[in-house]
Chain A
């Protein structure tokens, strides 16, 4: 009898997750914003500021990529749309970070960076959700920090 209860519990959880996913997709469609869950923390809109520019990009669930760059002080804005790919390390080698490659509409590469860090879904450490991109996979070298922004 206990096995039946266990099976029932599993079924309820599965139905719950399925319905939640359906609800998420529906909400995403209506609001146009990504509902980010576990293992997809890279999705959504990210931005960073420097003295000379404001960079923002959005990774959509359907693989679309939007990029905008505002160059100060004249505030010239460049907008690029295209697609992105998330490449995991060859053979699942944990010594390398996953790689984010983005391309514009004509297929030219815009980003080719390692994702060194993304705030985990249930993180209690980070106050803000952030993503750290790096041109190489070596710890403690050049990195670009982007913060998740409200869409």
Chain B
């Protein structure tokens, strides 16, 4: 019995270190679960929907769950990201259409300095709500590891389309069509 103590302790310690390593690796690498679900057509509920993020203008914004029943074009961006600047006018134009169909663009500023984000919003006259993801945890739940990235969430709160990179007109039109179709 006494002989088993050291090997047992060593095994437990080794297993704990291995678990820590696995946790670190899985925590760092972006998840592509949502992409696979969209490709297969078995849509999944938007992650972290109940999480309230700080609003860019202060206080806390409504969580995604509060948008259930609406189509949401969730867009991750940052003021230092050049492609985000390119797509900002496109998203604002989309917002003008979406807001008439019980739908909205929802911006999430990713690891950005608040004053820079606000300057960006003013520069591109963005009217849609924008939240702050200072930790990057919310974006990580969507497998976001580059900017910009956008997700179309249907009225049931499920992710139905993903754009990993700058959005294009067909992606925007698909979101608008989804909003128009269901309104």
* A and B associate in one complex: no
- Residue positions of B touching A, CB distance < 8 A: none
